[in-house]
């Protein structure tokens, strides 16, 4: 056991089932252990390092801002957050942005907006938010309540009240639930990431939007994992031809630095007033400068490349020996293996490839710009691991 592993076991809270891999450095989609062992990174820090490790352009943006000013508080104006917010709005048609530091905080903001919007229009009893079973929206007590998976709830009662969970892809069930609970909003992931990389039916996503319009509910799409090019569109809702009222995102937006954003559309653009919400680290100029660089590089050419690599992965992995099925969208891929997913991931590690799990699946979230040759090497190793 190395000193790092010893210290980790002794001093780090015991919340993670880490694999026996220590990462010391990396470049692009390759990472290295202290002894020089090389791994192909098919997890990208759980969909975070959108342009890989130590990307030169992103580093220039981050270091440039670090040399100017690293933090100011939100009492003063700074340029990086305004430029990032403007770019996000221009590319989505949303009207306002609130910056936090994580996906959970982005969702907390959306939930606060939805509650205030509904309270002002329909009174204080209209606060329920409908989310989906098998969803994942974060680890705070409120976003855990939003998360439609009992396993996350059991040990932490009581959670924030006001969340009910509908069955994914069941429009009639959703309509019945909405009719019974007079909600403020419906919140979905278009592809349930932690829930096993399962894309919702396009018809269902359209129905969610329609129900929101008919009843004046806010339509919230959690794009923490699916956003920022991951799905093959800038935001995954764009693949479904819908327009949400609130979009939350984080993970890939920061390129490896912590940032979360809640994008607020026209219907709710003036809901938040002075003092309604805040964050000490939110809109941090270094994180925003890096994120602006990331966002500006998620262009049509890169998105086409993401879709091409996605098609390649589906082609190679569907029907591969040891793979029951393949799900997902863009560079967000779930493989249901015949063997337990964690065992397959360990076999991938033995072959120099780092993959993730999501429930019973092996999950792939590589950097969006992973070179094709590297992807081919990773696929060969993954197929070999699946077949063993």
Ligand X SMILES: *Cc1c(COP(=O)(O)O)cnc(C)c1O
Interacting residues with ligand X (CB under 6 A) = 102-104, 107, 136-138, 189, 193-194, 222, 224-225, 250-251
Nearer to ligand X, 138 or 256 (CB): 138
- Residue 106's Cβ-count burial label (10 Å; 0-12, 13-18, 19+) is buried
Given phi > 0 = left and psi -120 to 50 = alpha, else beta, which region is 79? Answer: alpha
- Bridge-based pairing of strands 246-249 and 260-264 is antiparallel
Provide the minimum distance between the beta carbon of 225 and ligand X in the complex, in angstroms, as a whole number. Answer: 3
Which helix (H) or strand (E) element contains residue 32?
Answer: strand 30-32
Instruction: Give yes or no for a contact between 356 and 48, defined as CB atoms under 8 angstroms apart.
Output: no
Q: Which is nearer to ligand X, 332 or 382 (CB)?
A: 332
Nearer to ligand X, 84 or 126 (CB): 84
Least distance to ligand X, CB of residue 306, Å: 17
Residue 321 CB neighbours (<10 A): 10
* Closest CB to ligand X among residues 132, 292: 132
Least distance to ligand X from the beta carbon of 242, Å? 17
Region of residue 275 (phi > 0: left; psi between -120 and 50: alpha; otherwise: beta): left
CB of 280 to ligand X, least distance (A): 16
Nearer to ligand X, 117 or 136 (CB): 136
* Residue placing its CB nearer to ligand X in the complex, 145 or 250: 250
User: Please, which residue, 103 or 244, has the CB nearer to ligand X?
Assistant: 103
User: 138 or 168: whose CB is closer to ligand X?
Assistant: 138
State the minimum distance, in angstroms, from the CB of residue 228 to ligand X. 12
Smallest distance, ligand X to C-beta of residue 121, A: 26
- Locate tokens 């990032």: which residue? 84
Q: What is the DSSP string of 298-355?
A: --HHHHHHHHHHHHHHHHHHTT-TTEEEEEEETTEEEEEESS-HHHHHHHHHHTTEE-
Q: How far is the CB of 224 from ligand X (least distance, A)?
A: 4
Q: Which residue is nearest to ligand X (CB)?
A: 103
CB of 210 to ligand X, least distance (A): 23
For 99, residues 6+ apart whose C-beta sits below 8 A from its C-beta are: 81, 84, 85, 259, 260, 261, 279, 282, 283, 284, 288
Q: Which is nearer to ligand X, 92 or 225 (CB)?
A: 225
CA angle 212, 203, 235 (to 5 degrees): 75
> Three-state SS for 51?
coil
Q: Are residues 91 and 235 in contact, defined by beta-carbon separation less than 8 angstroms?
A: no
CB neighbours of residue 76 within 10 Å: 7
Q: Shortest approach of ligand X to residue 133 CB, angstroms?
A: 14
């Amino acid at each position: 056991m190395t000193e790092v592993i010893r210290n980790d076991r002794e001093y780090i809270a015991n919340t993670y089932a880490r694999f026996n891999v220590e990462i010391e450095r990396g470049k692009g989609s390759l990472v290295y252990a202290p002894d020089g062992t090389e791994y192909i990174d098919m997890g990208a820090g759980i969909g975070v390092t959108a342009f890989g490790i130590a990307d030169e352009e992103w580093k220039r943006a981050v270091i440039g801002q670090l040399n100017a000013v690293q933090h100011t508080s939100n009492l003063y104006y700074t340029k990086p957050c305004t430029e990032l917010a403007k770019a996000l709005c221009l590319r989505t048609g949303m009207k306002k942005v609130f910056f936090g530091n994580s996906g959970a905080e982005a969702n907390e903001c959306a939930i606060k907006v939805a509650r205030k919007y509904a309270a002002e229009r329909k009174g204080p009893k209209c606060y329920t938010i409908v989310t989906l079973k098998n969803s994942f929206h974060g680890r705070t007590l409120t976003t855990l309540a939003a998360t439609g998976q009992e396993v996350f709830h059991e040990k932490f009662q009581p959670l924030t009240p006001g969340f009910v969970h509908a069955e994914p892809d069941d429009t009639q069930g959703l309509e019945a639930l909405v009719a019974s609970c007079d909600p403020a909003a419906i919140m979905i992931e278009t592809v349930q990431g932690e829930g096993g990389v399962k894309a919702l039916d396009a018809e269902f996503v359209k129905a969610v939007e329609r129900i929101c319009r008919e009843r004046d509910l806010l339509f919230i799409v959690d794009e923490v994992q699916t956003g920022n090019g991951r799905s093959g569109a800038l935001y995954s809702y764009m693949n479904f031809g819908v327009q949400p009222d609130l979009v939350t995102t984080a993970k890939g937006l920061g390129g490896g630095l912590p940032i979360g954003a809640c994008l607020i559309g026209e219907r709710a653009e003036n809901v938040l007033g002075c003092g309604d919400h805040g964050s000490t680290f939110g809109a941090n100029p270094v994180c925003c400068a890096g994120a602006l660089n990331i966002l500006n590089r998620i262009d049509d050419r890169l998105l086409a490349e993401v879709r091409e690599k996605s098609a390649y992965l589906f082609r190679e992995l569907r029907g591969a020996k040891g793979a029951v099925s393949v799900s997902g969208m863009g560079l967000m891929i779930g493989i249901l293996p015949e063997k337990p997913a964690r065992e397959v991931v360990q076999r991938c590690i033995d072959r120099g490839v780092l993959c993730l799990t999501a429930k019973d699946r092996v999950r792939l979230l590589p950097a969006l710009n992973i070179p094709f040759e590297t992807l081919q090497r990773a696929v060969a190793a993954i197929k070999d691991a699946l077949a063993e």
